[in-house]
Amino acid sequence: MTDDDEYFEDFSDNSSIELSGVDEDVLGNELSSVDISDSGEYEFDDGPGNTDSSSEILYSFYKSRTSGGIPTHRLKYRNIALDDIQKELEKDVKKVQNMLQLDYGKCLNLLLQYSWNEHKMLDMYMNAPNHQDYLLKNGIYEAKFPEDLSRLISTETDENILCGICYCGPTKDEPMNFFSMYGCKHKFCTDCYIQYLKNKNESGSMAIECPFADPKCHLKITIEELNVLSEYNNKMEEKHFYHKKQEECNLLSEEQIKQMYKLDSDSEFEFDEQLDVEDDFNNTVKTKEKMKIDELVYDFHTIIQQREREEIDKKRNRTIISKYWYNIGSRYCTINTKKYKHCPSPDCDNVVQFIGFDSDIVANIEELKRLLMIPLVRCKSNHQFCFGCNETAHAPCPCKVVQLWKIKCEDDSETLNWIQTNTKDCPRCHSLIEKNGGCNHMTCKSCTYNFCWICLGDWTAHRNNYRCDKYVPNEDSDVSKVRESLEKYMFYFNHFNNQRISHDKDKQILEIFENKIKELQINSGVSWIESVFYKECVNALLECRESLKWSYAFLFYIPNCRGKQLIETAQWQLSNKVEQLSRLFEDVEIGDVIKKKPMFLTIKSSMVTAQNVFLETCIDIFADKHTLKDFVQRWNIK
């Protein structure tokens, strides 16, 4: 805990500076919105290469108070990498190591065993009648490792030795390398041991036991021993790689190479192909070159991101050790969900570290949730998600309401959809009637009323005419209460669903955009810098759609009051802007994109402003403590 305290002290100065800065901004210009996508861009600019970016403190809401003066109890967080967690964990292990005077890896295993609960582990250790037995029970051999662990790998020529996994053994002419842990001496050939560890790593298991099974050996491999095998494996792979290279070199004669080049007459363009440049343009060399530069500039962004990802991926998977640490780090995050959260976005490995709140009232996430605030955070790759419930961003809907809504949708939506599409009320007694085939002449079982399924009119009017051309009027006043509440739910659910569908459709735009913009660059020689706004607009649009989507779930639960009207007005304004931008995307010709850039930007910024106003209005509704209390009681939010 002392470590945490130091944290807070360290950053308290920083945060106050940041805070006052933001407040000034707010006071100076009410309308100046801190543009969400702009801040994202800023993050990116600052991101790679800048070591300070990881310690930058970020906030869950763009203002500490709404324009109505309501505190937003912002959550403070940082974006970190899993490597940073490793460093922190290493410190923990060292601390334990100093106390227990055991080898590093053994302390690590103990901590893993107790899910990093240091106190419990030490307690158990100190109270154990016999330390040796205690350690053994946890799969640890007490005796200290020798200086040189590389001797754990031995080269054998004895024909009586057999690897218990592949059933292969050495001969005098073909020696084999075997590995055994320091504590148990159960030998398996290095290839099998490495494969075994890789498999265990892949399945994310830590504290890997010796594979020996008769009787089961419960000794756990330490990081030191892993390291021996990991390094051995690296060496072997390098050797293998080198051999393969050499073989390839030997295989090709000069003539073969010449032939290859002749066959591939476009070999000059090999490099271009990598960059996806199409060669069949009749442009002059100059424009081609310019194009190539633009292409490079455009791709720079994506390429850099991709390379970074690949690098991380490689680093993580390259060695047994790095993958093992990766597993430990991600497990640690899942254990300490209060402090760390993995980005829930698919294929995203970023971690968000919780630092604190800029509020005197809120002490933890649960309290924040009870105030119906939403701790929205953004990972390094700009994915927005909720720190409280690990769902994708769901503002303005508080976490608890999201839960309620989801349960409701699960319970009701299927049935309701079915009822809505397959049944109608009897026009006389309002009992639900399903039409299961046959003609349109219905007879209600409860009141024996004869009516037409299409127009719900009296069947007598249809007696001699089986075609119904009557216009279907809206059902009026007499709707039963159940139907009414169903309709209310259906109304919000349909809107919610519509936004979801629109969101998905707009998302497709983003994908088409990639191609469009590439075409644009090739055709008109527009540089990447000039067209990046397009992507920003799409992202902003998608986020606003999410807000709108959740606003319907939110409104379903809000009782009729003045606040609700205000929210609805703000929502209406937001959805206007969203539709406007969405339409612009649909209508715009590729060639006109740059010409319309100011239009895009104007609509986007007014949309973002509308979004902020809308979110603030939603927060403001709970400014009145009674409203909050009523709301919490009404929906039984704990």
Partner 1 sequence: MSSLPKRIIRETERLISDPVPGITATPHEENLRYFDVLLDGPSGSPYENGVFKLELFLPDDYPMAPPMVRFLTKIYHPNIDRLGRICLDVLKNNWSPALQIRTILLSIQALLSSPNPDDPLANEVADEWKNNHDKAIQTAREWTAQYAK
Residues that bind partner 1 (CB under 8 A): 164-168, 188, 192, 195-196, 199, 209, 211-214, 216
Question: Residue 473: is the preceding peptide bond cis (ω within 30°)?
Answer: no
Calculated CA dihedral for residues 182, 188, 192, 196, nearest 10 degrees: -50
Secondary element (H or E) of residue 386: strand 384-386
| Nearer of residues 98 and 203 to partner 1, judged by Cβ | 203
Instruction: Read off the tokens for 233.
Output: 């494996």
Backbone angles phi, psi at 534, to 5 degrees: -60, -45
| Nearer of residues 165 and 304 to partner 1, judged by Cβ | 165
Contact 564, 517 (CB under 8 A): no
- Signed CA dihedral, 453, 455, 457, 458: sign only: negative
Secondary element (H or E) of residue 443: strand 441-443
Cβ of residue 523: shortest distance to partner 1, in angstroms?
49
Q: Which of 189, 333, 343, 439 is catalytic?
A: 439
Nearest 5°: the CA angle 602, 605, 607 is 105
| Nearer of residues 211 and 344 to partner 1, judged by Cβ | 211
Distance CA 631, CA 564 (A): 12
| Nearer of residues 206 and 532 to partner 1, judged by Cβ | 206
Distances 45 to 42, 117, 239, 353 between C-alpha atoms, Å: 5, 39, 40, 21
Neighbouring-strand partners of residue 378: 384
Cβ of residue 211: shortest distance to partner 1, in angstroms?
5
| Nearer of residues 164 and 344 to partner 1, judged by Cβ | 164
Cβ of residue 333: shortest distance to partner 1, in angstroms?
22
Contact 528, 301 (CB under 8 A): yes
Q: For 213, which DSSP code?
A: B
Distance CA 350, CA 24 (A): 31
| Nearer of residues 213 and 529 to partner 1, judged by Cβ | 213
Distance CA 482, CA 415 (A): 14
| Nearer of residues 212 and 405 to partner 1, judged by Cβ | 212
Cβ of residue 212: shortest distance to partner 1, in angstroms?
5
| Nearer of residues 192 and 321 to partner 1, judged by Cβ | 192
- Signed CA dihedral, 212, 216, 219, 222: sign only: positive
Distance CA 35, CA 43 (A): 12
Q: For 48, which DSSP code?
A: T
Neighbouring-strand partners of residue 384: 378
| Nearer of residues 115 and 422 to partner 1, judged by Cβ | 115
Q: Does residue 439 have an active-site annotation?
A: yes
Give helix then strand counts, H and E, for the chain.
20, 13
Cβ of residue 164: shortest distance to partner 1, in angstroms?
4
Q: Quote helix, strand, coil % in the chain, to nearest 5.
A: 60, 10, 35
Contact 552, 489 (CB under 8 A): no
Cβ of residue 206: shortest distance to partner 1, in angstroms?
13
Give the DSSP letter string of 136-194. HHTT---SPPPS-GGGGEEEE--TT---TTT-----SSS-EEEE--TTT---EEHHHHH
Would you name the residues annotated as active-site residues?
439
